[in-house]
Chains A and B, each alone.
Chain A
Amino acid sequence: NAGVTQTPKFQVLKTGQSMTLQCAQDMNHNSMYWYRQDPGMGLRLIYYSASEGTTDKGEVPNGYNVSRLNKREFSLRLESAAPSQTSVYFCASSDETVRRIFGPGTRLTVL
Chain B
Amino acid sequence: RKEVEQDPGPFNVPEGATVAFNCTYSNSASQSFFWYRQDCRKEPKLLMSVYSSGNEDGRFTAQLNRASQYISLLIRDSKLSDSATYLCVVGQHNAGNMLTFGGGTRLMVKP
Contacts and interface: CB of A to CB of B under 8 A. Distances in A.
Interface of A: 31, 35, 40-45, 48, 50, 56, 90, 94, 97-100, 102-105
B66 to A, nearest CB: 17
Contacts, number: 47
| Those 10 A-B pairs whose CB atoms lie nearest each other, nearest first | A102-B43, A43-B101, A42-B101, A98-B91, A42-B103, A98-B97, A98-B32, A50-B96, A40-B103, A102-B44
A15 B69 CA distance: 42
Interface of B: 2, 4, 8, 32, 34, 42-46, 49, 87, 91, 93, 96-104
A45 B98 contact: yes
A100 B102 contact: no
A5 B50 CA distance: 27
A45 B43 CA distance: 15
6 contacts: A35-B101, A40-B8, A42-B2, A42-B104, A44-B101, A99-B34
